[in-house]
Amino acid sequence: MTTLYTRELEIAQLAVQRAAILTKRVFHEKAKGTVSKDDKSPVTIGDFGAQALIIAALRANFPHDAIVAEEEAAQLREDAGLRELIWGLVQETRLEDVGAEGLLGGGVKDVEDMLEVIDLGRSEGGRRGRVWTLDPIDGTKGFLRGGQYALALALLEDGDVKVGVLGCPNLPVDDAAPLAADIGSDHQTDDEGRGVIFSAVVGQGATSRPLGTGALTEGKKISMKTVTDMASASFCESVEAGHSNQSESAQIAQRLGITKPSVRMDSQAKYGSIARGAGDIYLRLPTSKTYQEKIWDHAGGDLIVREAGGQVTDTKGQRLDFGVGRTLASNSGVIAAPAGVHGQVLEVVQQVLGLK
């Protein structure tokens, strides 16, 4: 039997759309309730609030599915001020479309329930059954800086990505618009013309549609650009130097004959951008032997790029393996490129990294 994942896709898109109303509100506020996690990375009331809203929708619609999400409630249990702020936001956030809000169902009863909902994302993942993976704000540093960020949700079945949704509130709606890495330094930019949801279902292609706040509109098919001449191609890479080895990628660009400077952008907005042909190649080269990439940072983007005509592997040439657990422990780095040139890029990456 073919499973079409129609309901999963609809709920995932609406859940991301609703949570984005909350993150956009926080994005425009000066005080974002930022705290530091144990690994020293930042988390805001936007991350916690979005995670609560999205998991509440999953709990109501797919109560038997496992969830692997980035955030946990431990810090909120110790900070009444912070959790009340988040609870206020969660309570107030509704989709404009009453029917759509009804579809999401459930809701969050009270503050304690909100903390429990956040902690439903603590599954260990794995190669069996249905597992949702969620990054409520991917690219928190971009979110704080006024750059790109994404709400990333994907459904894995037996370790394979079946549905991927990326909400990118700061990317242009227009698939043909030039790559937008930044929205201006004042954070007060008009939201007009911005906000897009990228989606893909395995075997059904990838689409984009406006993020909006009302009912979902029909998606438009997206596809990667065909690269015929490397000299006119460019890399899309992290802003954060600590997330990808930028000097190695400069050598790779040079060997490939790429002359344009890399476009630096936070979050999985990179995957969405290349999937719609607004960029060409996404490179993420390991910086340390110890950091392991997380499944929620790649699952949605991986499927969206592959369904748009791309190939995604690690630097060893292996597909990303989302069935190992919460991390991509068996992979190293990421190379996402149009299928026609992926082999050529991989070859040069391996030469420069000394892998062959």
291 binds, among ligand A2P, Mg ion, none (CB under 5 to 8 A by kind): ligand A2P
Pairwise CA distance, residues 116 & 125, whole Å = 18
| Residue pair 344/177 in contact by the 8 Å Cβ criterion | no
3 binds, among ligand A2P, Mg ion, none (CB under 5 to 8 A by kind): none
Quick one: which H or E segment has residue 301? helix 299-307
Which of 9, 100, 28, 21 is closest to 53 using CA atoms? 21
Sheet with 310-313, strands from edge to edge, namely 263-264, 235-237, 281-284, 334-338, 310-313
Per the document, the length of the chain is 356
* Residue 47 among the catalytic residues: yes
Is 262 an interacting residue with respect to ligand A2P (CB under 6 A)?
no
Residue in 33, 49, 121, 139 binding ligand A2P, rule: CB under 6 A? 139
Choices 175-183, 281-289, 293-301, 332-340 (CB under 5 A): range interacting with Mg ion: 293-301
Residues 31-60, one symbol each (x = binds Mg ion by CB under 5 A, - = not), give ----------x-------------------
Single out the catalytic residue among 23, 93, 133, 140.
Answer: 140
Pairwise CA distance, residues 311 & 13, whole Å = 24
Instruction: Give, as ranges, the residues between 66 and 105 that touch ligand A2P (CB under 6 A).
Output: 70
HSE value, Cβ hemisphere, 13 Å, CA-based, for 321 = 16
Place of tokens 């009912």: 215
Task: Provide, rounded to whole angstroms, the least separation between the CB of residue 276 and ligand A2P.
Answer: 17
Beta carbons within 8 Å of 180's beta carbon, 6+ residues apart: 148, 170, 171, 172
Single out the catalytic residue among 47, 65, 119, 314.
Answer: 47
Choices 7-15, 22-30, 136-144, 323-331 (CB under 6 A): range interacting with ligand A2P: 136-144
| Residue pair 14/37 in contact by the 8 Å Cβ criterion | no
Residue 67 labelled as part of a binding site: no
Pairwise CA distance, residues 76 & 131, whole Å = 25
For residue 312, the cross-strand partners are: 336
In one-letter notation, the amino acid at residue 186 is D
| Residue pair 19/56 in contact by the 8 Å Cβ criterion | no
Instruction: Give, as ranges, the residues between 218 and 247 that touch ligand A2P (CB under 6 A).
Output: 238-240, 242-243
Residue in 8, 65, 119, 135 binding Mg ion, rule: CB under 5 A? 135
Residue 297 labelled as part of a binding site: yes
* Residue 140 among the catalytic residues: yes
Task: Provide, rounded to whole angstroms, the least separation between the CB of residue 283 and ligand A2P.
Answer: 11
Residue in 138, 175, 248, 307 binding ligand A2P, rule: CB under 6 A? 138
Is 297 an interacting residue with respect to Mg ion (CB under 5 A)?
yes
Quick one: 192 exposed, middle or buried, by C-beta within 10 A (0-12, 13-18, 19+)? exposed
Residue in 157, 297, 302, 307 binding ligand A2P, rule: CB under 6 A? 297
**Residues annotated catalytic, as ranges:** 47, 140
Q: Enumerate the known binding-site residues for Mg(2+).
A: 70, 135, 137-138, 297
Binding site for ligand A2P (CB under 6 A): 41, 70, 135, 138-142, 238-240, 242-243, 266-267, 291, 297
Binding site for Mg ion (CB under 5 A): 41, 70, 135, 137-138, 140, 297
